[in-house]
Structure 1
């Protein structure tokens, strides 16, 4: 039996979930348009444990979204996760932010998660219909021809905070836009459980978020 606390702070969504044996037990999150992680994250953790009659000692691992995403948000989430792992002597599991975002798409088809990264740039990757990553994570400047090689072949699902800017410049008939979605700890549960079963853990002392780019405020 595994009980994993999942922390997602790579976007404006401050999100905490508890997974038990790969299933979502509870979720607490806030789709605030501002970054409220510093004020809310630790309270969310305390509340979600109390509401489910759990203690910190009941946890088997801590999972954290590793990025890319907001520098400040990632730093807060990873610091909290590492602090819990140190104090409780628990393993740390990292989950790629774009992978968990892609896992929100239930449709079968190519999936391209996008996180807003300033101006016409997004943090993005490409996943096939089975959620396998087929293109490396990158910071990409969008234009009307972006992802044409995929769109010309099949329906493509775009999801995340970067979708709005791409929708304005891409009118390809095979593009499907899933708007108003941010990374959520609920999607981390199954991914973290797979890593837990494999003992695929991070070195708590040296683990750092995957910022992808140099620091920018936000």
Structure 2
């Protein structure tokens, strides 16, 4: 099976083509360019390096969030468009799980995305039999609550992934023995995203697939403030 995988949920951009478990081509970029400008050319680049065209792809795997609202929307929009127009299978994978996949398999893995004001998007994962198991589901939280929640684990077994300088300082105060991977050393790996996607269910309705934000955007907050109902039947993203 040939998989095109990409992640634009954070500042780095990652794209890869994987065939039957083998990475044919991969690209990781931290250039200060907008993902909306670079994603499609980078997809074409990895396809060319793989000696493939887009129609050769069997499955599209995308990091669905959480993360940068704009970044997540770019990746999901491109993934949905390709899947719909080319009639390809589509799988969405947690952006935090993609980060956790690059951690130490012997550790309790805590992937993070800085959500500002001492808050973060975070999950807790552990590797079992070569597969990541979600111990604490992805959520938006204050760092104080997260660090308190992690007291059930031995601090020396914890590995925090993708911590900004501010989050690193907060972690070190509570868990000086924990391993902390700074954001600059935590590039998402699209090849690992593809590997995870092989074990995930295919999205049955591509049209209804939306990013995972884990908190309201300002636009959603304003939308609900105007009296729109949040009844679980229709979301801001679907209506807009």
TM-score (norm 1): 0.88
The reply to whether residue 88 of structure 1 matches residue 86 of structure 2 is yes
Specify the alignment match of 1:166 in structure 2.
167
Count of residues in Structure 1 that have an aligned counterpart in Structure 2 = 211
Answer yes or no: is the 8 Å Cα contact 1:155–1:175 preserved in 2: yes
For residues 153 and 177 of structure 2, what CA distance do their matches in structure 1 show? 6
The alpha carbon displacement at 1:215 in A equals 1.8
Answer yes or no: is the 8 Å Cα contact 2:114–2:167 preserved in 1: no
Write out per-residue CA displacement over residues 107-143 of structure 1, whole angstroms, 9 at most, x where no aligned residue.
Answer: 4021100011112111001112433111111111113
Question: Does 47-56 or 181-190 show the bigger shift?
Answer: 181-190
- The correspondence of residues 26-105 of structure 1 with structure 2, limited to 5 A, is 26-32=25-31, 34=32, 36-105=34-103
1:128 is paired with a residue whose SS is strand
In structure 2, relative to structure 1, the CA distance for the partners of 1:26 and 1:169 (3 Å cut) is: same
Specify the alignment match of 1:208 in structure 2.
210
Structure 2: where are the runs of 5+ without partners?
Answer: 220-240
Specify the alignment match of 1:184 in structure 2.
189
Structure in which a larger fraction of residues adopt helix: 2
For residues 204 and 177 of structure 2, what CA distance do their matches in structure 1 show? 39
For residues 9 and 166 of structure 1, what CA distance do their matches in structure 2 show? 21
In structure 2, relative to structure 1, the CA distance for the partners of 1:72 and 1:93 (3 Å cut) is: same
Structure 1: where are the runs of 5+ without partners?
Answer: none
Please report the RMSD computed on the Cα atoms of aligned residues, expressed in angstroms. 2.0
1:169 is paired with a residue whose SS is helix
TM-score (norm 2): 0.81
Q: Structure 1 segments of 4 or more deviating over 6 A?
A: none
Larger Cα-atom Rg: 2
Write out per-residue CA displacement over residues 21-43 of structure 1, whole angstroms, 9 at most, x where no aligned residue.
Answer: 123221112113x4510110010
- The correspondence of residues 106-121 of structure 1 with structure 2, limited to 5 A, is 106-121=104-119
For residues 70 and 35 of structure 1, what CA distance do their matches in structure 2 show? 14
Write out per-residue CA displacement over residues 41-79 of structure 1, whole angstroms, 9 at most, x where no aligned residue.
Answer: 010011111122101111101111111111100111111
The alpha carbon displacement at 1:97 in A equals 0.9
Answer yes or no: is the 8 Å Cα contact 2:120–2:141 preserved in 1: yes
In structure 2, relative to structure 1, the CA distance for the partners of 1:168 and 1:178 (3 Å cut) is: same
1:19 is paired with a residue whose SS is strand
More RCO (CA 8 Å, sep 6+)? 1
Write out per-residue CA displacement over residues 82-119 of structure 1, whole angstroms, 9 at most, x where no aligned residue.
Answer: 11111211111111111111010134021100011112
The alpha carbon displacement at 1:148 in A equals 4.6
